Amino acid sequence: MLFSPIDVRVREVGLRDGLQMIAAQVPTEVKIAWLRAEFAAGVREMEVTSLVPAKLMPQFSDAQAVIEAAKALPGLTTVALVPNLKGAQRALELGVDKLDFVMSVSRTHNLKNVRRPREESLADLVRIVHERDAAGLKGKVLISAGLSSALGCSYEGQIEVDEVRRCAADLVAAGAEEVLVADTVGYSNPQKVEEVFRAVMLETGDLPVGAHLHDTRGLGIANAKAAYDCGVRLFDASLGGLGGCPHSPGASGNVVMEDLCFLFESMGLRTGIDLVALLEVRRQVAAALGDVPMFGALSRAGLPTGHHAVA
C-alpha cells in the first residue's frame, strides 16, 4: 500500500477542522484511534491538530501527543495548522512534515480569524520560511499556505478573483511551497471554482495547488470535480463532513471524506483509500464522538453493487 501509485490525494482534516467546532474535549485516545484507523484504510496525509494557544482552543492542548502518534505511522504526512510564527516554531519543534499556514483573502476574515491584517500574516510567513531554513529543515518540512475565504466570505460576500490571484502571488513570493485555496464558508459553485483556481495557478507555477472545500450549501462535491478538472490533485475533506470555522458565521462542514473518495474512485481514479475500511472508520468515530452531527450519503447508501475496491 505504501508505494502504490495514486491519482489524487485526499487528506483528512477532520482532526483539526472538524474538532475545532466541537466544544467538548475529544479524548486524545479517540483522536489517536481515529488517525490510526484512517491510516490503516490508506489515508496518507492528515492535518492532525492546530497549533494555536491552548487557552484559545483547549481542543488542541494535546497537540504534542497527537503529532507523536501520527509521526509513528510510516509514510504518513503529518500536518499541523499554524496561525502565526509562534505556532510554526512549535510545529518545527514537534517535527511535523508540513505546516499549514493560513491567510484570508478577505481582510475582515483575516482580522477575525488570526487577529491581524494580511500584511502581518505575509510578514510572518517570510519569518516562518526563514526559521525553517535556518533549522536546516528545507526539503524536509514543507510550508503550505492556505488562502482562506478565497471563494466568498460571510462578512464581505463575494471576493474578487484578482484579489485572490494577488494574494496567491504574495504567498508564493513569501516562500509558500504549496497553496491551498479554501472555500471557508461554502459560497462557491463549480464555475467560480474554475475561475479562481485557474487564476491562482497563473501565479503558482510548478507548486502544488490544493482545494479545501466546504459543503455548506451542497455544492462541495461538484466544486471538487471542477477543481479536479482544473488540475488539482490534493483535496481536503473530513470524515462525515465534520468541520466549520468558529470565526465565520454560517460555515458548516468540510466536503465529506468518504463521498469525495467515492467520487474519485467511481471515476476510476485511485485515491489509495479502501472505501469499505473508511466507512468502518466513520462508524467508529461517529460512535466515539457521540451526538456530534455527521453528514454524507455514502455511509447511508453503502457502495453500489459491483463496486470493486482499488487494489
User: Would you please indicate which residues are annotated as catalytic (active-site) residues?
Assistant: 245
Q: Which CB sits closer to its own copies, 77 or 189?
A: 189
Please enumerate in sequence order all residues whose Cβ is within 8 A of that of 175, keeping only pairs 6 or more positions apart, or say none.
125, 126, 128, 129, 143
197 touches its own copies (CB under 8 A):
no
Total chain residues near its own copies (CB under 8 A): 43
- As measured in angstroms, the least distance from the Cβ of 197 to its own copies is 15
- Regarding 18 and contact with its own copies (CB under 8 A), the answer is no
In the window 277-296, what residues touch its own copies (CB under 8 A)?
Answer: 296
146 vs 241, beta carbon nearer its own copies: 241
**Among 32, 91, 125, 153, contact with its own copies (rule: CB under 8 A):** 153
Beta strands in 110-227, from DSSP E residues, in sequence order: 142-148, 178-183, 209-213
Q: Judged by CB under 8 A, which stretch of 22-30, 83-91, 263-271, 280-288 contacts its own copies?
A: 263-271
- Pick from 10, 12, 62: nearest CA to 37: 12
Q: Is there a contact between 93 and 71 (Cβ–Cβ < 8 Å)?
A: no
The three cell numbers of residue 161 are: 478573483
Give the list of residues 6+ apart from residue 103 with CB closer than 8 angstroms, or none: 110, 114, 118, 121, 122, 125, 145, 146, 147, 148, 167, 171
Q: Cα separation of 205 and 202, whole Å?
A: 7
Quote the CA–CA distance of 219 and 152 in Å, as a whole number.
14
> CB of 155: closest distance to its own copies in angstroms?
8
- Cα separation, 138 vs 128, in Å, equals 11
Question: Binding to its own copies by residue 198, rule CB under 8 A?
Answer: no
List the one residue out of 83, 87, 123 whose CA is nearest residue 104.
83
Phi-psi region of 43 (alpha: psi -120 to 50; beta: other; left: phi over 0): beta
Output the smallest distance, CB 168 to its own copies, in A: 22
Closest contact distance (angstroms) between CB of 149 and its own copies is 12
Task: To the nearest 10°, report the CA torsion of 99, 50, 220, 272.
Answer: 60
Among 158, 198, 231, 246, which residue interacts with its own copies (rule: CB under 8 A)?
A: 158
Q: Does 107 bind its own copies (CB under 8 A)?
A: no
**For its own copies, which stretch binds (CB under 8 A), given 35-43, 141-149, 166-174, 299-307?**
299-307
| Residue 266 CB neighbours (<10 A) | 13
Q: Which of 268, 287, 290, 311 binds its own copies (CB under 8 A)?
A: 268
Residue 4 binding its own copies, by CB under 8 A? no
Q: Which helix (H) or strand (E) holds 79?
A: strand 77-82
Q: Which of residues 108-137 bind its own copies (CB under 8 A)?
A: none
The smaller minimum CB distance to its own copies, of residues 11 and 109, is found at: 109
CB-CB neighbours of 98 under 10 Å: 18
State the minimum distance, in angstroms, from the CB of residue 253 to its own copies.
9
- Which of 135/297 has CB closer to its own copies? 297
Report the residue number, 206 or 291, with the smaller CB distance to its own copies.
291
Residues 213-252 that bind its own copies (CB under 8 A): 215-219, 221-222, 224-226, 250, 252
Return residues touching its own copies (CB under 8 A).
152-158, 185-192, 215-219, 221-222, 224-226, 250, 252, 256, 259, 262-263, 266-268, 296-298, 300-302, 304-306
